[in-house]
Structure 1
Amino acid sequence: MAEDRKYFIFNKPMDYRRGTVDRMNAADGILRLTGAEPGWFFSRVLDSREEEMTWHRLRTVCAERDGGWNMTLYSSDSRFLVWGDNSAPVDEVLADPELSLEEKKQRMSSCFAKEIRGEADVLLFDVRGRYLWFLLEAGGAAGDFDGITEIRIDFPKQSWVSWLPEVYQGSGKNRDFLERYLGVFQSFYEELTEKIGRSPDLFDPDCAQADFLSWMAGWLSIEDIPAWNEEQLRYLLKNALRLYRIRGTVEYLKEMLTLYRDCEVYVVEHYQMQESDPEKIRRWKKLYGDSPYTVTVLIHTGQNGGQKEYRTFMQIVRHAVPAHIDCRIVLLTPYIFLDQHTYLGVNSRLGEYRPMQLDGLSAMHFSRIGQL
């Protein structure tokens, strides 16, 4: 029923820059007041490219609360305004900085079509003309204004009355009432049809709403969903197929850990401990275990992690390695402990010796304080 429907939409900074604005701004795509004073916005002239066009519907989406604004619609079949013995293109009048708002309104009074007082959804069956433009006034007497995220104007007029038997195809007040009455149900139907048409966006990781990401993650059996933030979940969903192909490998384990936390990950497996020196073998077994099914994961985050972070790392690792693997996690701390997990260039550095001084520049490990 709406195959030939067209529309103009305002939801980007460029849409508002093409109009005329005073004490309002839409840098982030949301039209807001720049201060406590009332502001106004004149749209550019919208061309339907058809004479005597009957417009269909106007929808406004507010940022938070509805209301706080008034809108005046103007329409005409000519792009020129005539007042008294003068005439000028509509665009010139709108953009003229020398004219006040009241002077612009006065010159456009002959093109007045409709006034809307904070109503979010309005039928425009009584607005006719090839060209249409509007004035949005916000704040002041209109009330508190939180901003507008989208303005959409649909055309041409399409009424369900045209689909009824001929007996209902009358004219005058009876037809006008029937069109407006059916327009309520028609609006619901059109909105539902649009939502169905946009349903593929719900399954696109780049477009889906944040609260829908966890549902999709559950469908794809992504583990540890509460541990991931919105950006990480989108990454996992977009790369799900590739990650499943490498699941259970060292590459997968490292990618999952670095995705959760910006850190350095080192994986030590049993086959890497090939050495003839018995002393080295003894130390390695102490640090990394003696079983061929034991894997040690060294994680260096650059700071001390708490128990909560350790448990999250452990949970991610358990779901990332094969079931028969015993995985040990070591969070590397920025301290030197002999014969333990101290790695030069990773969590320890060699520097010039400096005697301890109480100058605010030296630091001592807490374990040494009680021995002084």
Structure 2
Amino acid sequence: MEPIQAQMVFCCAEQWMGGRCWQIEPWGDGLRLDCGRATTGVYCMEAVDSGENGFCWSRAVVEADLPPDTALRVYAYASDSRSWGEWSDLDEAIRGLEGDPLPVLREVFGPPAAESGDFFIRPQGRYLWLMFELAATGSASPVIRALRLWMRGDHMVDYLPAIYQEEDFTRRFLSIFNSMYADMERAIDGLPGQMDYEHTSGALLRYLASWVCVEGGDSEEALRAGIRTALPDYESRYTVEGVRRSVRRLTGREPILIEHFQVSPNRPDCGDPELYRRLYGEDPYRFFVLLPEDTFSSQREREAFQRDMEELIPAGMSMQMVQLKSCIQLDWHTYLGVNSRVGGYVPAAIDEQVTIHYDTTIGGASHE
């Protein structure tokens, strides 16, 4: 049997706007209870019109993120009329409620239809109202992502003799297996899409990233970006640009890379061989990575960066990291915030017979 199902899906912010929230707020394309401000919240949908009196509603699935110490209750009410009691329009009455609406709404909806997100809707009628109650006792906030309503379609009971099709118990009992079968079919049909790193998320996205040796990443978008450029990144991984890219991804800063041949004290055009030997040594298999002083917030973070870089540099090479301090180079035209000019160095011999002038610089070498 190939099931054909007609569903109504609520998964956009605009679709939730017609309902009424109490202590529940819009969150992306869904709804969230902010546990920092409230422990319980209610959202009541506006009427869903099936267009058919006496309509037999079927299955409903609420896709929600429910961390530990959170709960979801779903209430359902259906009728062929939009009125209830003294209210001529139930939607307008719900929108006009003030204060704590739960006591009034529980009179309308009755006991919860489900304590989870997958349930069978028993009330029948043209119009359907659903109410979601979210609760949290911990620090994590529950989020409702989407709602799926099965409107019509193939059912296992449709393939039985007519005498069984009229039995409500038989339909509800077979709905359990019908739901399991339909879910498996949908999962199989959606498997190719789940293998697309541009659309999948969570553990499966990290699994796909491991196929192309992409690790880390502060966000799922960073993982997708790494997968997207995995091949060219691999081809240039151990080049100068590849090492610069690795440093940039690990630190978020633009590094300065210095190779030995650029600062070799043995070059004919080297202006100060002794200085270069003191700063960069003479090891031709070592390169330097220059980063700002505030790149790392702790010594542990710095050491973790150096360990990660050991896997991302060419074999036989060693890396030395130098963190640069911010400084100001004084020159003849340096502005110090006052109307003054930095002059040249004036040597002075300090004794009891010499007056030190205000523009005298003490210290340094004679060539300065």
TM-score, normalisation: structure 1: 0.67
Aligned pair 1:250/2:254, yes or no? no
Choose from 300, 304, 317 the match for 1:326.
Answer: 317
Alpha-carbon distance change, 68 to 90 in structure 1, aligned in 2, over 3 angstroms: closer
Partner of 1:63: 66
Partner Cα separation in structure 1 for residue 189 and residue 183 of structure 2: 10
Per mean C-alpha deviation after superposition, the further-off stretch among 235-244 and 145-154 is 145-154
* Per-residue deviation, 1:209: 3.7
Structure 1 residue runs without a partner (length 5+): 140-144, 335-346, 354-372
Q: What residue number does 2:339 align with?
A: none
Greater CA drift, 290-299 or 32-41:
32-41
Give the deviation of 1:82 after TM superposition. Answer: 7.3
**Separation in 2 of the partners of 1:292 and 1:261?**
26
In the other structure, the counterpart of 1:95 is 95
List alignment gaps of at least 5 residues for structure 2: 331-335, 337-341, 343-368
Report Cα offsets for 1:323-354 as digits up to 9, x if no partner: 3x5233222253xxxxxxxxxxxx4433669x
Alpha-carbon RMSD across the aligned residues, in angstroms, is 4.1
CA distance in 2, matches of 1:23, 1:221: 44
In structure 2, the partner of 1:349 is 328
Going from structure 1 to structure 2, the CA distance change for 1:204 and 1:260 (only over 3 Å counts) comes to farther
CA distances 1:217-252 after superposition (whole Å, capped 9, x unpaired) = 321123xx4x64345444322332332243222222
Matches within 5 A, 1:1-372: 1-9=2-10, 13-27=13-27, 29-32=30-33, 40-50=42-52, 52-60=54-62, 61=64, 63-64=66-67, 65=69, 67=71, 69=73, 71-76=75-80, 80-81=82-83, 88-96=88-96, 116-124=113-121, 126-136=122-132, 147=142, 149-150=144-145, 151-156=147-152, 158-164=154-160, 166=161, 169-172=163-166, 175-200=167-192, 202-205=194-197, 207-222=199-214, 225=215, 228-230=217-219, 232-273=222-263, 275-277=267-269, 280-290=272-282, 293-302=285-294, 308-323=300-315, 326-334=317-325, 347-350=326-329
Deviations 1:99-120 (A, max 9, x none): 98877888xx7xx899515243
The aligned counterpart of 2:364 is: none
Considering fraction of residues, name the structure with more helix.
1
Shift, 1:260, TM fit: 0.7
What's the offset of the Cα at 1:320? 3.3
Mapped partners of 1:239, 1:50: distance in 2: 52
Name the aligned partner's letter for residue 6 of structure 1.
Q
Classify the secondary structure of the residue corresponding to 2:249: helix
Does the CA-based 8 Å contact 1:160-1:183 persist in structure 2? Answer: yes
State percent identity of aligned pairs.
21
What is the identity, as a one-letter code, of the residue corresponding to 2:152?
P
Q: Deviations over 1:7-34 (max 9, x none)?
A: 232x555443311233443445334378
3-state DSSP of counterpart to 1:21: strand
Aligned length, in residue pairs: 319
Partner Cα separation in structure 2 for residue 318 and residue 105 of structure 1? 63
Q: Give 1:257 deviation, angstroms.
A: 0.5
